[in-house]
């Protein structure tokens, strides 16, 4: 696990999630996109993790992406809940679904990266 990549990806994802939540608090059009937008931003956090983690295996990228996606989603949903825009139950459901898309993002972020030589 690359903790630097996780910290950066989670921070960027959280900033984006909170920006979406704040915009959605005053805009019904943005609020209507919370589910898709939130999962999309977690996917971006997962891709970012994979791109920032040199030497990561596909498994490492998937786990790092899962964590980055879950962390930023949980914090974004928590802000949205504190603003009164979403129910408490969404903390669990939204975090789990965003964790899955973060893991997918981690795997997608590995596409096009050169394979490292392995000893035989």
pLDDT (tens digit, 9 = 90+) per residue, 37-65? Answer: 999 999 999 999 999 998 899 999 999 99
- Sole residue written with tokens 């996917």: 43
| DSSP letter string, 42-101 | HHHHHHHHHHHSTT--HHHHHHHHHHHHHHHHHHHHHHHHHTTSS-TTHHHHHHHHHHHH
Q: Is the pTM of the predicted complex or chain greater than 0.95? A: no
Q: Count other C-beta atoms under 10 Å from residue 13's C-beta.
A: 30
Cα distances from 105 to residues 11, 35, 38, in angstroms, run: 16, 16, 13
Check residue 84 and give left, alpha or beta (phi > 0: left; psi -120 to 50: alpha): left
% the chain with pLDDT above 70? 95
Q: Does residue 48 or residue 116 have the better pLDDT?
A: 48
pLDDT of residue 67: 98
> Quick one: average pLDDT of 107-113?
91
pLDDT of residue 112: 81
Mean pLDDT estimate for the chain: 94
Asked if the model's pLDDT at residue 115 lies above 90, the reply is no
> Quick one: average pLDDT of 103-108?
98
């Amino acid at each position: 696990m690359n903790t630097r990549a996780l910290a950066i990806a989670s921070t960027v994802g959280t900033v984006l999630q909170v920006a979406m939540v704040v915009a959605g608090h005053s805009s019904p059009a943005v609020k209507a996109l919370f589910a898709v937008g939130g999962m999309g931003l977690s996917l971006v956090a997962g891709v970012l993790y994979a791109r920032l983690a040199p030497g990561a295996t596909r498994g490492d990228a998937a786990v790092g992406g899962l964590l980055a996606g879950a962390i930023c989603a949980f914090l974004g949903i928590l802000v949205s809940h504190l603003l009164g825009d979403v129910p408490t139950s969404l903390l669990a459901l939204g975090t789990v679904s965003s964790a899955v898309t973060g893991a997918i993002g981690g795997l997608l972020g590995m596409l096009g990266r050169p394979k490292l030589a392995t000893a035989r």
